[in-house]
Amino acid sequence: MTTQDFTAALRIRHPSIDPDEITRRLGLPPLHCWRAGDPRTPPSGERTQSARTETYWVAVLPASPINVFETFAALYRTPLEAWPQSVRTALQSPEFLMWVPLLNMRRDRKFWKQFGEEGGSVEMLINVEQTEGFRLDLQPNLLAMLVDLRIGLSFSVEPAMEEAA
């Protein structure tokens, strides 16, 4: 499977945390977010009397494989062209893309433990556009990291979109 067939996202809920704190801790921009207590805004755009009951934050991981390359190139001070093709291929794998936010969360384990104790939850959503077949190998160390960080895992497999004739 290639990254073009695969999308991963983190969905985070908490009774009261500021979504900006989640963004700062993960270093990822949210696709959508709101804070507990914010007014609800229906699709019509008009404000209502009701308020959000919890903080919600969701981000797609990462926006593009090239962002991962650039991050690693900067970290190791090695230009992208100098990386072997085998390493570049591994960095584009769906499993690797899932590791990036998990490693950030693991470094900040104390915060995420308290986050869970306060009633917060984190879920990794995996969306697969099924082409001819579906296979996603999740290695034991990745699964152990999800368990250690108390992150739920959800899969959605969608039929491939047919190209317009």
Instruction: Tell me what pLDDT residue 55 has.
Output: 95
Asked if residues 121 and 12 have their Cβ atoms less than 8 Å apart, the reply is yes
Handedness of CA 58, 116, 17, 142 (dihedral sign): negative
For the stretch 57-82, pLDDT in tens is 999 876 455 555 666 666 666 776 77
Asked if residues 40 and 48 have their Cβ atoms less than 8 Å apart, the reply is yes
For the stretch 108-136, pLDDT in tens is 889 999 999 999 999 998 887 766 666 77
For the stretch 5-64, pLDDT in tens is 678 889 999 999 999 999 999 888 899 999 998 888 777 767 677 888 999 999 987 645
Write out the two tokens for 92.
């584009």
For the stretch 132-164, pLDDT in tens is 666 777 788 888 889 989 999 988 887 765 544
Write out the two tokens for 143.
């699964």
pLDDT band per the 50, 70, 90 thresholds, residue 90? low
pLDDT band per the 50, 70, 90 thresholds, residue 101? confident
Side-chain-side CA neighbours of residue 53 (13 Å): 1
Strands 6-14 and 55-61: antiparallel
**Does pTM top 0.85 for this prediction?**
no
Instruction: Tell me what pLDDT residue 17 has.
Output: 96
What CA–CA distance (Å, rounded) separates 156 from 46?
Answer: 32
Asked if residues 122 and 9 have their Cβ atoms less than 8 Å apart, the reply is no
What CA–CA distance (Å, rounded) separates 121 from 118?
Answer: 9
Pick from 100, 154, 96, 158: nearest CA to 122: 154
Task: Identify the helix (H) or strand (E) that includes residue 67.
Answer: helix 65-76
